Amino acid sequence: MNPVIPPAILRASVPPGRVLNIAMLRLLSVTNFATIEQLEMELDPGFNVLTGETGAGKSIIVDALSLLLGGRADGGMVRSGARRSRVEGVFLLNGDLVQKITRALDEYEIDFGEEELILAREVNLDGRNTCRVNGQIVPLRMLSVLAEHLVDIHGQNQHLSLFRVPEHMDILDQYAGLWQLRTQVAQTVHHLTEVRRELDQLRREEQELAQRADFLRYQVGEIGSANLRPAEDEDLALERDRAANAERIIELSDRAYRALYDGLDREGSVMDLLGRVFQDLAHLEQFDPSLSQARESADVLTHQVDELARTLRSYRDSIEYNPERLQELEGRLDLIRSLKRKYGGTIEEILAFAERAADDLERLSHREERTEELKSQEMELREQIGRLVGRLSEARRHSAKLLADAIAEEVAGMAMEHAQVHVDIRQSYSEDGVPVETRDSVLHASLSNGESIQCFAFNGTGIDSVEFMVSLNPGEPARPLARIASGGEASRLMLAIKTILSTADRIPVLVFDEVDAGIGGRIGSVLGQKLWGLSRSHQVLCVTHLPQIACYADHHVRVVKLASHDRAMTSVEILDDETRVMELSQMLGSDSGATRSNALEMLEQAVTWKGPSG
């Protein structure tokens, strides 16, 4: 006979008294991704678990979420027979997260209702991506930027990050709340790096710069000595043409003048003929007054021709045949043509080149001043970095003991009661380093010969190297975690760290993919309690094989793999009260009356442990 489920443990998606006003992933939709043909999974606030047989597709769902958040993609992810995969997620936002997301979306002018954010990503067979935010196409980078604010995925092997020593510093700094100070250090170090790079360049190129200065000086001098005027070449070309054709110009202008005033080839001049016309019109006007206007026109013409003749005479007299002036003009034009070949197609371009060259020469002429200025900046930045990294190192040393004790306390309940943790912080000497000051004194180190030194190697993270040291058994010295911890022990240490950092972690959705790897059922309930504790300030999604963890869930999803038309297909089922007991029973080994009783007992113990608020 199946046991009766007491009302006290009847499932509620969000237990009374524990409705959390936190951001969350409300819906995940996956189409044609690996073994998934079509899947929609609704999630609740609190602690969500995904269970199912090995190979059912639990981790595939996590992979689909990772793809949505900017993870690596290729055409092999597309379900066989389909043209593309699509993953879509609906996030509900609140609080400070709304402001962060809004700032990230402003660059692309995406409409954002400040409550719901819809991300979508399609991957074609050829690996091409289409990414959307609230329906608007965005670069893939945008999904990665948003993911940093939304979801933290702790994969099956993420505990291995504890074996990567550089990540230990990140954990300590997050615990100590040092990211703002560390960012300030990184920015100042970057500034110092740029100053040093320019200094090195000035030193390396000193001879080359001197040669460059000489060449610029020659160019500026050559252009300056020419005393060019804008459009001068056009004026010179006109004058050159007149000088080259002076004899012909005098001849033509003289003939035109004589035609107007003296007459040619015994013919009367134009002025004589116009004079006769004017007199005849004056006589005709006496007989016919209507010709007065014609007579006036003849008078005007006479004056105009007279003026034209005077102009031609003056022009003729101004022309002088001067071979020396012609040679002078040709020389000037040759000079301008030569400068054009070197510096620009027009005089304006030549003058602009000279101005730029003069500016470059001015800068080069002051390179010594720039070198001294950079040296002064380097010294000031080193002193500033020394003060900043001193504060950073001091804060790390202060927080290291607190973090180590907190980790040891957390893992004590996970069958690691004898574990002792030490956060080792060290510095190294560098002649090119910085002197470091703390609030109390100057930080010193010692060389192997005992000599005290004050300059320390540094980078954008400060002067410290940080490594977690662990002693797992009484009497054993602390040794590097990466050398002595097993995968299961590292998983428990990572979960302990996640628990400790949860209050400072602003990412609302935490995903744990088989965090129980290498962990037996004996401490599974402790892990379940830890994960449920995280869900008080985050939405937690956990893939697990342990019923001792699953029984603490607020929301239980079973992943199954079905065969349809000789093809595997992954689907999900939201478990109700009865099916949840059945699932936990099967996770215990078999669905029988005994295992159902055990499953029911586990649920009762979880409810009792959670208390009224759970």
32-45: pLDDT as tens digits? 998 898 999 999 99
Mean pLDDT in residue range 103-119 = 79
Alpha carbon separation from 104 to 115, 137, 299 (Å, rounded): 15, 14, 85
For 209-212, the CB contacts below 8 A with 24+ separation are 209/364, 209/367, 212/360, 212/364
- Classify residue 552 by its DSSP letter: T
User: Does residue 104 register a pLDDT over 70?
Assistant: yes
Q: What is the DSSP string of 154-165?
A: E-TTGGGGGGST
Residue 161 backbone dihedrals phi, psi, to 5 degrees: -60, -25
User: Does residue 369 register a pLDDT over 90?
Assistant: no
Of 27-31, 193-197, 240-244, the one with minimum mean pLDDT is: 240-244
pLDDT of residue 16: 40
Tokens, residue 358:
């003069």
Mean pLDDT in residue range 376-385 = 92
Give yes or no for a contact between 321 and 265, defined as CB atoms under 8 angstroms apart: no
Query: How far apart (Å, rounded) are the C-alpha atoms in residues 374 and 201?
Result: 12
Mean pLDDT in residue range 139-148 = 88
pLDDT of residue 580: 92
Which has the closest alpha carbon to 540: 59, 47, 63, 61?
A: 47
User: Does residue 10 register a pLDDT over 50?
Assistant: no
Q: What is the pTM of this model?
A: 0.60
Of 344-358, 560-574, 592-606, the one with minimum mean pLDDT is: 560-574
pLDDT of residue 14: 42
Tokens, residue 264:
């040619």
How many Cα neighbours within 13 Å face the side chain of 253? 20
Of 11-25, 80-94, 216-230, the one with minimum mean pLDDT is: 11-25
Chain-centre distance of CA 260, in angstroms? Answer: 82
Alpha carbon separation from 540 to 116, 278, 543 (Å, rounded): 19, 114, 10
pLDDT of residue 17: 39
pLDDT of residue 540: 92
What's the one-letter identity of residue 352?
A: A
Query: How far apart (Å, rounded) are the C-alpha atoms in residues 67 and 122?
Result: 9
Q: Which residue has the higher pLDDT, 603 or 153?
A: 603
Three-state DSSP class for 241? helix
Three-state DSSP class for 264? coil
Residue 413 backbone dihedrals phi, psi, to 5 degrees: -85, 5
Residue 116 backbone dihedrals phi, psi, to 5 degrees: -125, 130
User: Does residue 177 register a pLDDT over 70?
Assistant: yes
H-assigned helices in 107-205 = 140-150, 166-176, 179-204
User: Does residue 443 register a pLDDT over 70?
Assistant: no
Query: How far apart (Å, rounded) are the C-alpha atoms in residues 247 and 251?
Result: 6
Q: Which residue has the higher pLDDT, 159 or 108?
A: 108
pLDDT of residue 449: 45
Tokens, residue 147:
């993911």
Query: How far apart (Å, rounded) are the C-alpha atoms in residues 337 and 329?
Result: 12
Chain-centre distance of CA 491, in angstroms? Answer: 32
Of 266-275, 369-378, 472-481, the one with minimum mean pLDDT is: 266-275
Tokens, residue 321:
């045949």
User: Does residue 331 register a pLDDT over 90?
Assistant: no
User: Does residue 274 register a pLDDT over 90?
Assistant: no
Tokens, residue 207:
């001879």
pLDDT of residue 184: 95
pLDDT of residue 43: 92
User: Does residue 452 register a pLDDT over 70?
Assistant: no
Residues contacting 64, CB < 8 A, separation 6+: 28, 30, 33, 34, 36, 87
pLDDT of residue 11: 40
Residue 83 backbone dihedrals phi, psi, to 5 degrees: -95, -25
Give yes or no for a contact between 492 and 407, defined as CB atoms under 8 angstroms apart: no
Query: How far apart (Å, rounded) are the C-alpha atoms in residues 31 and 532?
Result: 30
pLDDT of residue 454: 67
User: Does residue 157 register a pLDDT over 60?
Assistant: no
Q: Give me the percent of the chain exceeding a pLDDT of 70.
A: 87
User: Does residue 444 register a pLDDT over 60?
Assistant: no
Give yes or no for a contact between 69 and 153, defined as CB atoms under 8 angstroms apart: yes
Chain-centre distance of CA 276, in angstroms? Answer: 92
Confidence band of 336 (pLDDT split at 50, 70, 90):
confident
Query: How far apart (Å, rounded) are the C-alpha atoms in residues 516 and 435?
Result: 46
Mean pLDDT in residue range 194-198 = 92
134-157 CB burial, b ≥16 within 10 A, e <16: eeeebeeebbebbbebbbbbbbbe
pLDDT of residue 289: 85
- Classify residue 77 by its DSSP letter: G
Q: According to the per-residue pLDDT averaged within each range, which of 46-55, 287-296, 445-454 is highest? A: 46-55
User: Does residue 385 register a pLDDT over 90?
Assistant: yes
First to last CA, the chain: 29
Mean pLDDT in residue range 373-380 = 92
pLDDT of residue 413: 75
Mean pLDDT in residue range 213-221 = 85
Q: Report CA dihedral (571, 575, 578, 583) to the nearest 10 degrees.
A: 60
Q: Which residue has the higher pLDDT, 465 or 108?
A: 465
**3-state SS, one letter per residue, for 272-332:** HHHHHHHHHHHHHHHHCHHHHHHHHHHHHHHHHHHHHHHHHHHHHHHCCCCHHHHHHHHHH
